[in-house]
């Protein structure tokens, strides 16, 4: 079974062609870089409209798959920026109709989780999904992914991007902050904001900008922000392991590219006798392969959507969608 998947929820337009066992047969992506500041949804959507046809062609060519032998066309239905979502959904509908293939709607957050999970080979793990718009500690139960804890304000990636742009850098901020922080050791005081299983970042943003205003070194700020924010994520993840009696952690989402976060979670998990896993970086950030793979899981479980009912859902949460491909009594 082979499925083609289209990702277009935010900054990245991407097309993946994926087979059974999450074999990635083709993957072609292009990220929109705003000339300055943050992402303007309509400009990103225009980028996706311009690039998606070529990305579809490139991914199919890499895979060597004839479109008429695809099992389905999958697209990211939400959450995300409305104009960006509509660009990908429109391309997916056109392809499904012209190739006469079923259409499958995929939740973007669940897709981040599923690609990380299948590559990890860990079946009983707690999932830490850390990305641009989302920061969630997740566990599967009774047919859905359950959010055990999450950010109370912005997603960690959006927080890092906003901070870096305010410090004079460009989007995306996460990787640039990681590069700036490397080899630094000067830990500046920042608010540590954990509330039970939840976290918050806006207080750190305000405090970090105040440090900058008072002349603190940008690389020291980067190091201190990473140390504080990633320690918060590690703490809530450990609390989930302890309360649910689990051992293993799977990381997903763009911020899971970060070596510091990976190392902090690994240290915590290994001290408890468990294992941690993060996918290769091109599969942590937004990509069409995760949409195709989750679409494949959905098709296998009998999911498909009529074109007339395939409207995008900019606010569709992780815990609002059914995952019928998992054992309802499993965990």
Q: Which does 285 bind (CB under 5 to 8 A by kind): Fe ion, ligand ATP, none?
A: ligand ATP
Q: How far is the CB of 324 from ligand ATP (least distance, A)?
A: 22
Count of beta carbons in the 10 Å neighbourhood of residue 198: 19
Size of the site for ligand ATP (CB under 6 A): 26
Q: How far is the CB of 64 from Fe ion (least distance, A)?
A: 28
The piece of 59-67, 125-133, 199-207, 304-312 that touches ligand ATP (CB under 6 A) is 125-133
Question: Exactly one of 241, 285, 305, 323 binds ligand ATP (CB under 6 A); which one?
Answer: 285
Beta-bridge partner residues of 72: 3
Helices H / strands E in the chain, number of each: 10, 12
Is 253 a residue that touches ligand ATP (CB under 6 A)?
Answer: yes
Binding mask 49-78 for ligand ATP (x = CB under 6 A): ------------------------------
The piece of 87-95, 138-146, 182-190, 249-257 that touches ligand ATP (CB under 6 A) is 249-257
Is 174 a residue that touches ligand ATP (CB under 6 A)?
Answer: yes
List phi, psi (to 5°) of 229: -65, -40
The angle subtended at Cα 242 by Cα 147 and Cα 149, nearest 5°, is 20
Cα–Cα dist 175/160, whole Å: 9
Burial 48-60 (b: 16+ CB within 10 A, else e): bbebbeebbebbb
Tokens read off for 287 = 């990509």
Is 133 a residue that touches ligand ATP (CB under 6 A)?
Answer: yes
- Output the CA–CA distances (angstroms, integers) from residue 61 to 22, 26, 56, 65, 167, in the order listed: 18, 8, 8, 7, 42
Q: How far is the CB of 95 from ligand ATP (least distance, A)?
A: 22
Residues that bind Fe ion in the complex, under the rule CB under 5 A: 131, 286
List phi, psi (to 5°) of 69: -100, 5
Q: Which does 102 bind (CB under 5 to 8 A by kind): ligand ATP, Fe ion, none?
A: none
Helix, strand, coil share of the chain (percent; to 5): 50, 20, 30
User: Both ends of the chain: CA-CA distance in Å?
Assistant: 26
Is 161 a residue that touches ligand ATP (CB under 6 A)?
Answer: yes
Q: How far is the CB of 41 from ligand ATP (least distance, A)?
A: 12
Contact residues for ligand ATP, defined by CB under 6 A: 9-10, 80, 108, 112, 131-134, 155, 157-158, 160-161, 172-175, 178, 253-255, 257-258, 285-286
């Amino acid at each position: 079974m082979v499925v083609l998947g289209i990702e277009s929820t935010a900054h990245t337009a991407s097309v993946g062609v994926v087979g059974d066992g999450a074999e990635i047969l083709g993957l072609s992506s292009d990220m929109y870089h705003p000339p300055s500041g943050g992402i303007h949804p309509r400009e990103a959507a225009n980028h996706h409209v311009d690039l998606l046809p070529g990305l579809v062609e490139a991914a199919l060519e890499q895979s060597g798959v004839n479109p008429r032998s695809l099992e389905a066309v999958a697209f990211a239905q939400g959450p995300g920026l409305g104009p960006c979502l509509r660009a990908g959904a429109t391309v997916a509908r056109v392809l499904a109709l012209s190739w006469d293939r079923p259409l499958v709607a995929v939740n973007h957050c669940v897709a981040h989780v599923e690609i990380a999970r299948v590559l990890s080979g860990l079946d009983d793990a707690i999932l830490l999904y850390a990305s641009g718009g989302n920061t969630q500690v997740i566990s599967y139960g009774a047919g859905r992914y359950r959010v055990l804890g999450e950010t109370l304000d912005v997603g960690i990636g959006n927080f890092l991007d906003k901070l870096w742009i305010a410090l004079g850098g460009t989007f995306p901020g996460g990787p640039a902050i990681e590069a700036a922080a490397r080899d630094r050791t000067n830990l500046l005081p920042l608010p540590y904001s954990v509330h039970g299983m939840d976290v918050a970042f806006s207080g750190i943003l305000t405090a970090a900008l105040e440090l900058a205003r008072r002349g603190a070194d940008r690389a020291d700020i980067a190091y201190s922000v990473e140390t504080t924010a990633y320690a918060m994520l590690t703490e809530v993840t450990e609390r989930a392991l302890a309360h649910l009696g689990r051992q293993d952690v799977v990381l997903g989402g763009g911020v899971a590219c970060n070596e510091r976060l990976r190392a902090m979670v690994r240290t915590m998990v290994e001290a408890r006798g468990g294992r941690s896993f993060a996918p290769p970086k091109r599969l942590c950030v937004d990509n069409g392969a995760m949409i195709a793979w989750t679409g494949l899981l959905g098709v296998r479980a009998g999911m498909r959507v009529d074109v007339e009912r395939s409207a995008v859902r900019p606010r569709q949460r992780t815990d609002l969608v059914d995952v019928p491909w998992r054992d309802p009594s499993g965990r």
